Amino acid sequence: MSEFRKISAFDTVNRLFDKAADLLELSAEKRVELTTPYRELMVRLPLLTEDGEVKVYRGYRVQHDNSRGPMKGGIRFHPDADLDEVRALASLMTWKTAVVNLPYGGAKGGIQCNPRELSELDLERLTRRFAQRMEGFIGPREDIPGPDMGTNARVMAWMMDEYSKFHGYSPGVVTGKPLEVGGSEGRLSATGRGLFFAVEQSARAMDLPLEGARVAVQGFGNVGYWAARFLADAGCKIVAVSDVEGTLVCPGGLDIDKLHCIADETGTVMNYEGEDCQRLHRDELFGCDCDILVPAALGGAIHAGNAGDIKARLIAEGANHPTTPEADEILAEKGVTVLPDIYANAGGVTVSYFEWVQNLQQMRWDAERVDKELRQVMEAAFEAIKKASEEFDTDLRTAAFVVAIRRVAEAARLRGLH
């Protein structure tokens, strides 16, 4: 087999799983049990578009594990959302919910489509068709979808409404909903805020003052924007931001509010005007001079070809699996600290959990309570990861997997074969 064979996204996650499973001396049977998805669905989604055309899409939901509770994870609308990618992301959700100790298992779903090419009405019809196909397999006590790349609160409201037609009003079936139909305060900014709490924890442990720290952010979607915003509020200088159009480098620091307005109005960060700003190719973000790097776009962005260029001391993974295992090794050799995705971006699913709790109890929390509880979750998880990294003398990613696998394996053992 060629050494250049592209290994699948799911195999990549399982390589990370195996590294931690070796430290835990897990048996071969246990590894198969913990990595094999519980259930996988692939559905055909025909759509009669507003223009009168018939288009057929594929939808997926991979339910990876339910040992610790109902399965949880986002729905992605993206051209790359195929079965392998969704399976990888579903397994990452199992490890993510376990590392931050939420009473959930993991799942992920997606429709292979480009939502930017769909009209609002077509998007609604496609979402409702997907919910119809899924309604027998999801539910507040079974599997609770949430937002991910290409989906938002509007899409979650349609999912909830469609499911409710079959099962009665059920706000707890999806999270990330608008506030008016059972959403939670703080959900929109939650992933960015959680990432900020994670950075705060590890910067303290590394003696890296946040005041004046230079930050580069790859991707300026929901996660990238809110992460930049909270880091800037804490005194960091956002010196570089990229999106699909390119990289914007401003050593004097970017005005995040202004950047957000411009990106919103014109569709790209590249239209920002600033005295010392330079425009580079989108791939050049990783070579920028900075102390903290936040990859907040697609998987596989940091690879063997660019990991060597990275100048940051700390990487906080806002995206899911943005770093390949080869890049991980290069970064470890360089002494770069990597806050792994299953911890660094867990703020989103954590506030989704708070939303679900509020739905089940028919209660509402204020924003202050959401932020306080999110901080507690992120701090406790950091302590658990740090402890495991000391116990096994290993990096934070492997340590996070150790914490997660131990919790899932123990729950599975206590429940018995299920």
Note the residues at the interface with ligand GLU (CB under 6 A): 72-74, 96, 146-148, 175-176, 320, 345, 348-349, 352
Distance CA 235, CA 213 (A): 8
Beta bridge partners of 44: 58
One-letter amino acid of 148 = D
Q: Residue 133 Cβ, how far from ligand GLU at the closest point, in Å?
A: 19
What residues contact residue 193 under an 8 Å CB cut-off, 6+ apart?
A: 186, 226, 230, 347, 371, 374
193 near 374, Cβ under 8 Å? yes
**Residue pair 95/106 in contact by the 8 Å Cβ criterion:** yes
304 with 238: CB under 8 angstroms?
Answer: no
DSSP 59: E
Distance of CA 374 to the CA centre of its chain: 16
Give the nearer residue to ligand GLU in terms of CB position, either 74 or 224.
74
Selecting among 96, 108, 177, 237, the annotated active-site residue is 108
Output the smallest distance, CB 24 to ligand GLU, in A.
24
Q: 73 or 295: whose CB is closer to ligand GLU?
A: 73
Smallest distance, Å, CB 266 to ligand GLU? 26
The minimum distance between CB 190 and ligand GLU, in angstroms, equals 8
Please say which residue, 78 or 237, places its beta carbon nearer to ligand GLU: 78
Residue with token string 């776009």: 297
Separation between Cα atoms, residue 345 and residue 304, nearest integer Å: 23
State the nearest-atom distance from the C-beta of 332 to ligand GLU, in Å.
24
Distance CA 376, CA 385 (A): 14
- Structure tokens that stand for 58 in this block: 């594929």
Shortest distance in whole angstroms from residue 126 CB to ligand GLU: 19
Q: How far is CA 29 from CA 26, 96, 228, in A?
A: 8, 22, 43
CA distances from 216 to 233, 247, 289 (A): 15, 10, 8
By C-beta, is 148 or 317 nearer to ligand GLU? 148
Place of tokens 């995705």: 341
Q: How far is the CB of 84 from ligand GLU (least distance, A)?
A: 16
Helix or strand run (H / E) with residue 262: helix 256-266
Residue 186 phi/psi, 5-degree rounding, is 80, 0
Closest chain position to ligand GLU (CB): 146
Identify which of residues 14 and 175 has a Cβ nearer to ligand GLU in the complex: 175
Whichever of 40 and 309 has its CB closer to ligand GLU, that residue is 40
Kindly tell me which of 272 and 365 has the beta carbon lying closer to ligand GLU. 365
CB of 85 to ligand GLU, least distance (A): 12
Interacting residues of 25 by C-beta distance below 8 A, sequence separation 6+: none
Q: How far apart are the first and last CA of the chain?
A: 37
Q: Annotated catalytic, 334?
A: no
For the stretch 411-415, contacts whose Cβ atoms lie closer than 8 Å and that sit 24 or more positions apart, written own/partner, are 411/67, 411/68, 412/33, 412/34, 412/65, 412/67, 415/67
Alpha-carbon distance of 144 to 297, in angstroms, equals: 23
Nearer to ligand GLU, 39 or 313 (CB): 39
As annotated, the active-site residues are 108
